[in-house]
Amino acid sequence: MKILVLGSGGREHAIVWKMKKDNGRDRVFALPGNGGISEDAECLTDGFSDPEEVARIASHLNIDLTVVGPEVPLSEGITDLFNRKGLKIFGPCRKGSALESSKLFAKEFMKKYGIPTADFIAVNSIEEAVSVLEKREFPCVIKYDGLAAGKGVQVSEDMKQAKEFLCKIYDYNIFGSENRTVVIEDCLKGTEMSYLVFTDTEGFVPMVPAKDYKRVFDGDIGPNTGGMGCYSPPPVFTPEIEKHIKERVVVPTLKGLQRENIDYRGVLYFGFMITEQGPFVLEYNVRFGDPETQVILPRMESNLTEIMEAVIERSLNKVKIRWSDKKSVCVILASGGYPGEYEKGKEIKGLNEAVKNEDVTLFHAGTIKKEDGRFMTSGGRVLGITTVDGSLTKAREKVYRAADIIEFEGKHYRKDIGDFQ
């Protein structure tokens, strides 16, 4: 079987790693991939930015299954294009991807179908936003409507912070888009949790839950990032919470998709805030999370490729996923300055030593591999170090031993992943 995985991050490395582990004889390609992925798959360098070119490559290579990692190709309609060309692809259609590509669409969808979420209002200018904020209590949440690589949300503690973020959106156009919509919503208090499901619109099969750490510094302070670490399962996830999530959120979401005539086949990610009043949806994502994937897939004992094919073929009702009872932890090593400006091209040392005599897996994100075999940094989030153990404490000890061994100039990482709620 020939498989093509689209993307270049730690999430895509985890997907490639799992597929190779499940089906060693499958031929896996990555477009464009990264340094670590190149050791597990054949990396292709051209065509990723153009869905038509990706389709041409998939057809030319006789790819049996294409898996979309990031959200941008989905928002551009790559699934719709592949379906028209008779090419098998895993990921929702363009209309379904609006659950992530438009915060306003997602909030209005939740409101329409009775899915618990924070109260909100949409604005289209900085003047309108300030007028709304003057009548609301702080802290409040400000969300840029479009895609923003996980950096389009700010919890504003006061008007000064809010105005600074709004200025970046409206005056400096930091997201490089003509979209002028911003969503302002109430700030919910509680514990965040990620809950992902495989769905073919008609039904769903849940994955194990995880807790992501979005802020850059220990203690959940500093700006938002794409994710600085993760662990699974979080203690806040109880049978009662799971029942509530399935009945009050997942089922109504799928019914809403059906009523909107949205053919959704892929992964649906629910970002939750578990409050004293119960779970509230913070956001939808329309693909695997990053770094959630790096702690979820190592706990999966079933065949990932077979699950994806069942989703595409609408036979998900026949699937039952087996999961390990062990705990998993992932810590992200980031470049100095991330999520702001950072330098690339720093040599990464200690990779082999970090995985010696330890149950440690390295998922590469922002790396490239030189012809002489050396790995260099090429992104903000450089590596995800993941461990699996029966004890969360032991898993944390392993992951941080590895984090100390790996070196590159400017390396920084959170020291509290899995250490507090």
Q: Tell me the HSE value of 49 on the side-chain side, using a 13 A CA sphere.
A: 1
* 27-32 and 2-7 strand pairing: parallel
Which sequence spans correspond to the domains of the chain? 2-91, 119-186, 191-318, 327-405
Closest CA to 11 of 33, 38, 44, 41: 33
Which DSSP string do the residues of 108-173 spell out, in sequence order?
HHHHHTT--B--EEEESSHHHHHHHHTTSPSSEEEEESS--TT-SEEEESSHHHHHHHHHHHHTS-
Instruction: Give CA separation, 243 vs 76, 200, 238, 240, 248, in Å.
Output: 34, 20, 9, 5, 8
Number of neighbours of residue 312 by Cβ within 10 angstroms: 18
Distance CA 371, CA 369 (A): 7
Architecture in CATH of 191-318: 2-Layer Sandwich (3.30)
Start-to-end C-alpha separation, the chain: 42
DSSP 247: I
- CA-CA distance, 145 to 153, in Å (whole number)? 9
**Residue whose token pair is 């100095």:** 336
Neighbours of 149 (CB within 10 A): 14
Residue 367 in tokens: 């790396």
Smallest CA-to-CA distance from 99 within 268, 310, 277, 290 is with: 268
- Answer whether 119-186 and 191-318 agree in fold: no
Residue-by-residue pLDDT tens, the chain, 421 positions:
999 999 999 999 999 999 999 988 899 999 999 999 999 999 998 667 789 999 999 999 999 999 999 999 999 999 999 999 999 999 999 999 999 999 999 999 999 999 999 999 999 999 999 999 999 999 999 999 998 877 889 999 999 999 999 999 999 898 988 899 999 999 999 999 999 999 999 999 999 999 999 999 999 999 889 999 999 999 999 999 999 999 999 999 999 999 999 999 999 999 999 999 999 999 999 999 999 999 999 999 999 999 999 999 999 999 999 999 999 999 999 999 999 999 999 999 999 999 997 789 999 999 999 999 999 999 999 999 999 999 999 999 999 999 999 999 999 999 999 985 4
CA distance 251 to 30: 34
Rounded to 5 degrees, what angle do the CA atoms 379, 382, 383 make? 155
pLDDT at 420: 59
pLDDT of residue 421: 45
Residue 157 structure tokens = 């503690």
**Which residue do the tokens 């006789």 mark?**
62
User: What tokens were used for 214?
Assistant: 């979005």
Output the CATH code of domain 2-91. 3.40.50.20
- Please tell me the distance from the alpha carbon of residue 81 to that of residue 260, in angstroms, as a whole number: 20
- pTM for this model (two decimals): 0.95
pLDDT value, residue 47: 62
At which residue do the structure tokens 């019914």 appear? 255
Query: Token digits for 120?
Result: 């909100």
CATH code assigned to 119-186: 3.30.1490.20
Q: How far is CA 184 from CA 150, 166, 172, 272, in A?
A: 17, 11, 19, 17
- Domain spanning 327-405, CATH class: alpha beta
